[in-house]
Chain A
């Protein structure tokens, strides 16, 4: 089953009554069920570079997401994108998983790297290319 498919079935078993779209971690319960967490972990293990973004690489739907797409394109690395606009559960779940309230979110080799500002910094310093190359050979 595709990652999106998996995370969308998880939605039915997720904690009910959460305002997933607001992603309010200070409020009620957790959206990040063990099943969702596992699905995310597996996906991150399968793909070396993942961008959780708004829209997709052909049609980014936010300036910050677009910037990340452009940066990853320039680094010339194969990467997966996940459109969190298509899935409110995932959108809220990833905020918890990453302890990061915003998108885009970049993962390299299963590790959270940062958002757009961090991607820009790392790209400019050359670190991003290094991280990516290290991940590809690991």
Chain B
């Protein structure tokens, strides 16, 4: 790491100058970083190798440099590596003192957007793959069986997960989401928070085992939760190799990071059990 703070600053500007420009048609709202003083766009793409590559642009040199830093650092990683990044590396870069609070905030938001768009991209790809698999499995009969889009056939796949539809093929076809075996208690009838959580945890942690239980009824009416809300409290048990080497706080943070959208949409609390396969006494798969 460059020792001198001013030097680091200059290095940022250097990165900015080397960043490949992002075509103007990608300067769209969904790629735009929120909460940034300047305009910044980031766009992930999935390579043939399944790795994520980023492109970014900005109208200010400094933020361009920060974006370039993230592009350099994050490109060529797998989706789950990207999703598991904790923001504390920002401290390690030693930039925080040189940047104003709003710049620091913008940088954090850049990372968050990159993670969010990566997840969306990954979900889209997974959905496409599942559709291909289930249609080639040729079950025939009624088109309504699958979790597919209402119009059946080769419908348009939405950019982010279609929360209202449940995915029944999760446990039976096994192969589509890797080794995840999902046991869901309380039945799944298309609840958005539950579905969103399941998809994101599967994508981000490739769990060996995953259990999600809605315990909202046990907390109904308690302070800070508006009455009548459902899907507010969940008990989640995850067994994943991704937790290897992480202390408990890190593990919980990794989970929370994947579920930011859910927390913004009404998820209120989680009881978490986060184990590695060895700790859970489950064989690694």
Binding site for B on A (CB under 8 A): 22-30, 33-34, 54-55, 61-64, 85, 99-102, 112-118, 121
Q: Is the CB of B112 within 8 A of A26?
A: yes
CB distance from A37 to the nearest CB of B (A): 9
A102 to B272, CA, bound (A): 12
CB distance from A44 to the nearest CB of B (A): 16
Apart from A27-B264, A30-B101, what 18 extra A-B contacts exist at CB < 8 Å? A24-B264, A26-B116, A27-B34, A29-B105, A30-B35, A33-B101, A54-B222, A54-B223, A54-B224, A62-B223, A63-B222, A64-B269, A100-B253, A113-B249, A114-B248, A115-B252, A117-B273, A118-B248
Whether A29 contacts B263 in the complex (CB less than 8 A), given A61-B223, A121-B248, comes out as no
Interface size class of B (residues with CB under 8 A): 20 to 34
Q: Is the CB of A62 within 8 A of B224?
A: yes
Closest residue of chain A to B253 (Cβ to Cβ) is: A99
CB distance from A94 to the nearest CB of B (A): 13
Asked if B260 is an interface residue, CB under 8 A from chain A, the answer is yes
Q: Is the CB of B35 within 8 A of A114?
A: no
Whether A118 contacts B249 in the complex (CB less than 8 A), given A28-B35, A61-B222, A62-B223, comes out as yes
Closest residue of chain B to A24 (Cβ to Cβ) is: B264
Q: Is the CB of A61 within 8 A of B248?
A: no
Q: Is the CB of B34 within 8 A of A101?
A: no
Closest residue of chain A to B260 (Cβ to Cβ) is: A26
Asked if B124 is an interface residue, CB under 8 A from chain A, the answer is no
Top-5 shortest CB links A-B: A61-B223, A24-B264, A26-B260, A30-B105, A101-B263
Q: Which of B35, B105, B269 contacts A102 (CB 8 A)?
A: B269
Between A and B, 5 residue pairs with Cβ closer than 8 Å are A28-B35, A61-B223, A102-B256, A102-B269, A114-B248
A61 to B249, CA, bound (A): 24
Asked if B84 is an interface residue, CB under 8 A from chain A, the answer is no
Could you say which residues of chain B place their CB within 8 Å of the CB of A64? 269, 271
A26 to B271, CA, bound (A): 21
- For window 236-276 of B, CB contacts with A under 8 Å fall at 248-249, 252-253, 256, 260-261, 263-264, 268-273
Asked if B174 is an interface residue, CB under 8 A from chain A, the answer is no
Q: Which of B88, B112, B252 contacts A118 (CB 8 A)?
A: B252
Q: Is the CB of B263 within 8 A of A24?
A: yes
Could you say which residues of chain A place their CB within 8 Å of the CB of B253? 99-100
Q: Is the CB of B224 within 8 A of A22?
A: no
CB distance from B98 to the nearest CB of A (A): 15
Asked if B183 is an interface residue, CB under 8 A from chain A, the answer is no
Asked if B87 is an interface residue, CB under 8 A from chain A, the answer is yes
Closest residue of chain B to A112 (Cβ to Cβ) is: B249
A85 to B223, CA, bound (A): 8
Could you say which residues of chain B place their CB within 8 Å of the CB of A29? 35, 102, 105
A27 to B36, CA, bound (A): 11
Could you say which residues of chain B place their CB within 8 Å of the CB of A116? 271
Asked if B219 is an interface residue, CB under 8 A from chain A, the answer is yes
CB distance from B224 to the nearest CB of A (A): 6
A61 to B224, CA, bound (A): 9
A85 to B268, CA, bound (A): 14
Could you say which residues of chain B place their CB within 8 Å of the CB of A113? 249
A2 to B116, CA, bound (A): 39
Could you say which residues of chain B place their CB within 8 Å of the CB of A117? 252, 271-273
Q: Which of B219, B252, B263 contacts A114 (CB 8 A)?
A: B252
